[in-house]
């Protein structure tokens, strides 16, 4: 599954591509955890025979025969599941999962043919654990095959998980209903009784009953259709491969499709609402290309005969990797060639590549339990960049990878962070794992390992891992064991399986002292402890002194946690642009250069998951380099310097003035990532000021930002020309300039909006400037109302997102309140859009108090709709509160959430937002006056 809030290549694009750096800033996203109580009693008071949250391991499902009949008129479904099971010990109760299902009958069958017997079983339900117990008349015996047959019924979910209702409106205004599934992590049990844990892999034979006007889809191809009665057809799908329950999927709809075949004969299809199927071509071509890439890269054929991609009108996350039937939010799959932006094309490509990577990482080889979710999600996130770099080189995705690492570091720098591999048990804890640490940090440490071992050696290791554990479940250590025999290209393997380090081309003598590379020990330092290291560099002549500490926000300096990492350091110098390598395994060390240098830059290309501080005149040397010849180091290295400098300000290692001085070279910058990174650092600063009503300095700071980038803004053409990176840079700079009321931009946008409106919205605007045009147009009442009406009739996901954000920029509080009300209601604006609208209004200087009030007043509704513990709840909590910077607001936040008790007081995202607000207060108290003085005295002369 890909979270909607991290699907775009930029952390600040976390809700939609257009929301990047202008009004919305990176949120520390984490799943929230609610408390839950347990009871040994069944629902009617009878003792329940199982007390644990996890199912017993001695009951093993082999195969499911599942029949589902969904009624899209009554919005109900009924079904039967026949589960073949064996037991490994004498068993007096069959324990499995069921949630919100009415179970009418449970039967136990054993034996075959004439010797087959059948008996009714007693049914007990234990709702707190979402479990049922089926009690046979006598214990089940080891070595026999049993079939458990369960009849059940339920209501289609009104939320976004389980088997749920979705709707769309046709061009003619007719509302049509469909039903789709979203089971990860623990919602298969809402659609049929099952052993709903990832290690209980089984095969599935699925039958779907439907009306003739509908189409049914599932994981496997359709084998036959049978007319059961007048107006009722049963579709029978082929038997699946062995897989986990969370990957089962089925859809009943009237979708249309387009298809192509891969070179190896896999049929790839994209399904969408009939009026939008003409937007499916780009995703179809991308999916075919990417599936062919993965088959070649992994040296394992895709094991199913087909791969469907379905665009679901109502979808809470970004996409889901159901085996053979991946599902997507419409904006994550459909590309309108006339209206979709460059960032939309990039986002769709990355999302499709993520879900298709899961067909191997996650589906073929699955983590044994959710504590190692990163084995699924970290790998899929990492493979997005590996695959798209090859299949779509024009997108230049390698430029955006390190931004994922900065995203992860935002949450990983808090005390409330967690190790990549963390024990979890209940559903709330499981949902909590779907965060930036599992996805982005997981991808970043894999990239670091690949950079260390070499691409070929790393690839050999993961192919060995996939081949060894196909159709099985794995733990963290299984991956490192698969890597243990893989050595870097220039390093021989020793008899014990480790890689021997003899003479190495590095100038450092330390490679001779390190006898072996122990991948498992090295990577355990990155997966089994939270956080990341701060590497401090002190140069004394030819000697480079290195020290590692745990970087953590909250106080000046670094805490003594005792954490130690094995850090694969890389560096370049003024005398050598070839990346030299050094493995730091101790708290301190020294490396000796062949000659003295003017400057040294560590973490080349930001391939390592750590930040660097340069003591003495180290930062002055690098600032001078940027001001003099900034192209001497790569764009990614320049961006990482900007990031690291401001991270060091947060812990008191670097004065804010030095970090601001570093940004002044941006007057000469033209590459996308350093510009985006400086916006990532500077926009949050004035956002904090907005929450403190510091108008004078806030206005000066915004003016400084525009002045810093004015030359680059003035160079932007109002077209769709150039590379993807150039187009994305244009889109964000023009939006920034227009929102900050830079008059040349505002006047141009007003002209475009006037012409577009006079043409009744039929004038084709350049896609990359549309958001800036709409943002300016929405500032008048007439313009806002016109955009609102066009939103309701638009069939383009990109256009709707652009209008949505423009409407949220309004300075009219009544309009903002209307957006909040309508998006939660779900008629005019779909409820799936509410979290983004709430966050956008929460970023608006005139709207943030409305958003915070709305969250509080509607908390119970939101929890009911989006599920306590979901990333969506976390996204909304952080989006409305984590830019607060006053003690009064801090007490308000603490008071509200503590009053919720079990309905939210223990949420992880609450801990994070409180920690973040405390950090905001501390940061502003320490740095605000310094910024004011810097703006007044130094900045005019420097510019």
By annotation, the residues acting in catalysis are 355
Strand partners, 474: 367
Nearest CA among 740, 733, 683, 687 for reference residue 713: 733
For the four alpha carbons of 359, 361, 363 and 365, in that order, the dihedral sign comes to positive
Nearest CA among 95, 81, 54 for reference residue 248: 81
Residue 11 CA to residue 19 CA, distance in Å, equals 10
- Largest separation between any pair of C-alpha atoms in the chain: 96
Residue 232 CA to residue 212 CA, distance in Å, equals 7
Give the 3-state secondary structure of residue 569: strand
Contact 917, 893 (CB under 8 A): yes
Residue 421 CA to residue 768 CA, distance in Å, equals 40
Task: Spell out the alpha helix ranges (H) of 740-886.
Answer: 743-758, 770-777, 781-793, 797-808, 813-825, 834-843, 848-857, 859-866, 871-881
What backbone torsions phi and psi does residue 525 show, to the nearest 5 degrees? -70, -20
Contact 208, 251 (CB under 8 A): no
Q: Which two tokens stand for residue 700?
A: 């000066």
Residue 804 CA to residue 818 CA, distance in Å, equals 12
Q: Is the bond preceding 185 in cis, omega lying within 30 degrees of 0?
A: yes
What 298-302 contacts at long range (C-beta under 8 Å, 24+ apart), as own/partner pairs, is: 298/360, 298/462, 298/463, 298/466, 299/463, 299/467, 300/360, 300/364, 300/463, 300/466, 300/467, 300/470, 301/264, 302/262, 302/264, 302/266, 302/359
Name the residue with tokens 């984490």. Answer: 30
Distances (CA, A) of 1 to 163, 350, 433, 834, 871: 16, 13, 12, 20, 12
Sequential DSSP letters for 658-727: HHHHHHGGGGG---HHHHHHHHHHHHHHHHHHHTTT-HHHHHHHHHHHHHHHHHHHHH--SSS-S-HHHH
Residue 199 CA to residue 242 CA, distance in Å, equals 11
Give me the count of residues in the chain: 943
End-to-end CA distance of the chain: 46
Measured in whole angstroms, the distance separating CA 91 from the mean position of its chain's CA atoms is 41
State the DSSP code for 418: -
Residue 721 CA to residue 545 CA, distance in Å, equals 48
- Residue 750's Cβ-side half-sphere holds a number of Cα atoms within 13 Å equal to 11
């Amino acid at each position: 599954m890909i979270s909607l809030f991290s699907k775009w290549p930029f952390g600040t694009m976390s809700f939609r591509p257009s929301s990047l750096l202008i009004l919305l800033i990176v949120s520390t996203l984490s799943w929230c955890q609610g408390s839950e109580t347990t009871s040994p009693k069944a629902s009617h008071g009878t003792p329940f025979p199982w007390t644990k949250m996890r199912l017993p391991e001695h009951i093993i499902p082999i195969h499911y025969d599942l029949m589902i009949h969904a009624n899209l008129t009554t919005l109900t479904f009924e079904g039967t599941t026949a589960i073949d099971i064996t037991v490994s010990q004498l068993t007096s109760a069959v324990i499995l999962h069921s949630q919100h299902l009415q179970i009418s009958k449970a039967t136990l069958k054993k034996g075959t043919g004439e010797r087959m017997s059948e008996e009714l079983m007693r049914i007990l339900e234990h709702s707190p654990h979402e479990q049922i117990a089926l009690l046979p008349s006598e214990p089940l015996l080891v070595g026999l095959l049993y079939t458990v047959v369960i009849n059940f019924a339920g209501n289609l979910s009104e939320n976004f998980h389980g088997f749920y209702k979705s709707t769309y409106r046709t061009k003619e205004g007719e509302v049509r209903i469909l039903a789709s599934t979203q089971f990860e992590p623990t919602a298969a049990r809402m659609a049929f009784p099952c052993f709903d844990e990832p290690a209980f892999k089984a095969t599935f034979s699925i039958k779907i009953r439907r009306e003739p006007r509908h189409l049914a889809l599932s994981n496997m191809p359709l084998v036959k259709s049978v007319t059961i009665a007048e107006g009722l057809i049963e579709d029978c799908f082929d038997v699946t491969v062995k897989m986990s329950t969370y990957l089962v999927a089925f859809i009943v709809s009237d979708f249309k499709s387009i298809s192509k075949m891969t070179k190896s004969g896999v049929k790839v299809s994209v399904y969408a609402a009939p009026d939008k199927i003409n937007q499916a071509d780009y995703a179809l071509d991308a999916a075919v290309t990417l599936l062919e890439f993965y088959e070649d890269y992994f040296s394992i054929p895709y094991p199913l005969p087909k791969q469907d991609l379905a665009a679901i009108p109502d979808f809470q996350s970004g996409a889901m990797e159901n085996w053979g039937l991946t599902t997507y939010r419409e904006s994550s799959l459909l590309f309108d060639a006339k209206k979709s932006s460059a960032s939309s094309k990039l986002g769709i490509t990355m999302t499709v590549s993520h879900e298709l990577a899961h067909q191997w990482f996650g589906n073929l080889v699955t983590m044994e339990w959710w504590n190692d979710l990163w084995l699924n999600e970290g790998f899929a996130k990492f493979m997005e960049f590996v695959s798209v770099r090859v299949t779509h080189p024009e997108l230049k995705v390698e430029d955006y990878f390190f931004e994922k690492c900065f995203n992860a570091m935002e949450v990983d720098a808090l005390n409330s962070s967690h190790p990549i591999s963390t024990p979890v048990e209940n559903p709330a804890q499981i949902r909590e794992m779907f965060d930036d640490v599992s996805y982005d940090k997981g991808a970043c440490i894999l990239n670091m390992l690949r950079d260390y071992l070499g691409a070929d050696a790393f690839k050999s290791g993961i192919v060995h891992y996939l081949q060894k554990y196909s159709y099985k479940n794995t733990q963290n250590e299984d991956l490192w064991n698969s890597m243990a025999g893989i050595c870097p290209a220039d390093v021989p393997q020793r008899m014990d399986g480790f890689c021997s380090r003899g003479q190495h081309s590095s100038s450092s003598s330390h490679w001779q002292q390190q006898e072996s590379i122990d991948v498992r020990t090295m990577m355990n330092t990155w997966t089994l402890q939270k956080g990341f290291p701060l590497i401090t560099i002190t140069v004394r002549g030819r000697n480079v002194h290195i020290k590692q500490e745990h970087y953590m926000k909250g106080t000046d300096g670094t805490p003594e946690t005792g954490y130690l990492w094995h850090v694969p350091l890389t560096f370049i110098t003024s005398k050598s642009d070839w990346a030299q390598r050094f493995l730091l395994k101790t708290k301190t060390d020294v490396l000796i250069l062949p000659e003295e240098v003017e400057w040294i830059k560590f973490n080349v290309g930001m391939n390592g998951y750590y930040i660097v501080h340069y003591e003495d005149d180290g930062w002055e040397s690098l600032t001078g380099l940027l001001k003099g010849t900034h192209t001497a180091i790569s764009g990614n290295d320049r961006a990482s310097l900007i990031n690291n400098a401001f991270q060091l300000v947060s812990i008191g290692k670097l004065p804010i003035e030095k970090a601001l001085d570093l940004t002044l070279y941006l007057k000469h910058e033209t590459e996308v990532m350093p510009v985006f990174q400086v916006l990532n650092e500077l926009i949050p600063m004035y956002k904090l000021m907005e929450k403190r009503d510091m108008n004078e300095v806030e206005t000066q700071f915004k003016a400084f930002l525009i002045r810093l980038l004015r030359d680059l803004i003035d160079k932007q053409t109002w077209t769709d020309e150039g590379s993807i990176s150039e187009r994305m840079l244009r889109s964000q700079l023009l939006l920034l300039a227009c929102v900050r009321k830079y008059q040349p931009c505002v006047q141009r946008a007003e002209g475009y909006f006037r012409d577009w409106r006079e043409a009744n919205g039929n004038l084709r605007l350049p896609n990359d400037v549309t958001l800036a045009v709409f943002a300016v147009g929405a500032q008048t009442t007439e313009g806002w109302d016109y955009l609102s009406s066009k939103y309701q009739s638009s069939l383009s996901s990109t256009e709707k997102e652009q209008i949505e954000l423009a409407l949220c920029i309004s300075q009219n509080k009544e309009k903002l309140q209307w957006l909040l009300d309508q998006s939660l209601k779900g008629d005019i604006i779909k409820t799936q859009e509410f979290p983004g609208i709430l966050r956008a209004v929460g970023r608006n200087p005139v709207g943030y108090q409305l958003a915070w009030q709305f969250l509080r007043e509607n908390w119970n509704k939101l929890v009911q709709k989006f599920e306590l513990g979901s990333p969506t709840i976390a996204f909304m909590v952080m989006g409305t509160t984590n830019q607060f910077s006053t003690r009064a607001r801090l007490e308000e936040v603490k008071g509200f959430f503590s009053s919720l008790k079990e309905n939210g007081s223990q949420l992880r995202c609450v801990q994070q937002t409180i920690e973040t607000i405390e950090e905001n207060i501390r940061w502003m108290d320490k740095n605000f006056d310094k910024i004011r003085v810097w703006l007044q005295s130094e900045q005019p002369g420097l510019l």
